[in-house]
């Protein structure tokens, strides 16, 4: 074979190898991020929806005071002691009355609810209601119920209507009232704050009452609690309010 043909064949072979090595690799799909739709995921979705519907609001002074009180209440219950580190307090800007127990032990309270308060024992009862629901794992049970029914989208909607997430049932809310009364009594607050709080709670027909479609009638709640308060042994020197609460009240009144 002529020598020049040997060189040509060699060059062709080398060129073929180079072309083969430099061929464009196939596109490799990057792994997609996996969203785990667990309780924490839906807790965040719920918070975002409530913020959109009722306005997000932050106040360090109020948050600090309420956190101390929630810790104080939780100290009287073994179950609440265990979940206290996970309890979160979120504020809603609306002047309507809202007091909600959400997922992942998230407590929602509106500006309208805070402005309704006059005494510290009223605030203690107010905070004790969602804590009682957390203690009974009521929001989590509702989450699992909706999950089984393939209705978790209702959580994202965050509606305050029948058959939606916050509709825990009248029995659950009646029981939460009574458990909240026990919590405030064990924290040595005057239990009469429970009925004075409910006396201020708007009627179902009031425009400030945003939870009328999911809560038992206020009058029924009031009568049941009044009877329960009458059964309690009077506390010696019960707490009604403190200087810390007076400062909190003055701060709340400055909020526009």
Closest CA to 252 of 127, 126, 113: 113
Q: Would you place residue 10 in the very low, low, confident or very high pLDDT band (cuts 50, 70, 90)?
A: low
pLDDT digits (tens, 9 = 90+) for 168-181: 999 999 999 999 99
Cβ atoms of residues 221 and 197 within 8 Å: no
pLDDT digits (tens, 9 = 90+) for 93-135: 999 999 999 999 999 999 999 999 999 999 999 999 999 999 9
The residue written with tokens 């959580």 in the block is: 155
Q: What is the mean pLDDT of residues 5-13?
A: 50
pLDDT digits (tens, 9 = 90+) for 31-55: 555 556 799 999 999 999 999 999 9
CA distance 213 to 197: 19
HSE-up (13 A, CA, CB side) for residue 185: 19
pLDDT digits (tens, 9 = 90+) for 180-223: 999 999 999 999 999 999 999 887 667 777 888 899 998 999 99
The domains of the chain are located at 37-254
- How much is the pTM? 0.84
Check residue 4 and give its pLDDT. Answer: 46
pLDDT digits (tens, 9 = 90+) for 18-31: 545 555 455 555 55
Check residue 133 and give its pLDDT. Answer: 98
Angle of helix 120-135 relative to helix 170-186, nearest 10 degrees, comes to: 120
Check residue 5 and give its pLDDT. Answer: 47
């Amino acid at each position: 074979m002529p020598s020049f043909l040997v060189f040509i064949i060699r060059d062709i072979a080398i060129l073929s190898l180079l072309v083969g090595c430099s061929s464009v690799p196939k596109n490799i799909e990057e792994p997609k991020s996996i969203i785990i739709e667990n309780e924490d995921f839906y807790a965040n979705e719920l918070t975002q929806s409530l913020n959109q519907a009722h306005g997000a609001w932050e106040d360090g002074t109020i948050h600090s005071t309420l956190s101390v009180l929630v810790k104080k209440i939780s100290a009287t219950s073994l179950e609440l002691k265990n979940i206290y580190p996970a309890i979160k307090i979120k504020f809603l800007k609306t002047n309507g009355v809202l007091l909600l127990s959400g997922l992942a032990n998230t407590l929602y309270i509106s500006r309208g609810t805070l402005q309704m308060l006059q005494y510290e024992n009223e605030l203690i009862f107010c905070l004790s209601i969602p804590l009682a629901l957390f203690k009974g794992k009521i929001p989590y049970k509702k989450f699992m119920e909706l999950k089984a029914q393939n209705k978790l989208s209702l959580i994202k909607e965050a509606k305050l209507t029948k058959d939606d997430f916050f509709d825990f049932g009248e029995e659950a809310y009646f029981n939460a009232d009574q458990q909240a009364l026990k919590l405030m009594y064990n924290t040595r607050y005057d239990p009469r704050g429970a009925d004075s709080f409910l006396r201020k709670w708007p009627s179902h027909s009031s425009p400030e009452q945003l939870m009328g479609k999911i809560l038992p009638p206020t009058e029924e709640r009031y009568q049941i609690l009044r009877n329960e308060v009458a059964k309690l042994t009077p506390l010696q020197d019960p707490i009604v309010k403190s200087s810390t609460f007076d400062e909190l009240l003055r701060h709340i009144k400055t909020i526009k």
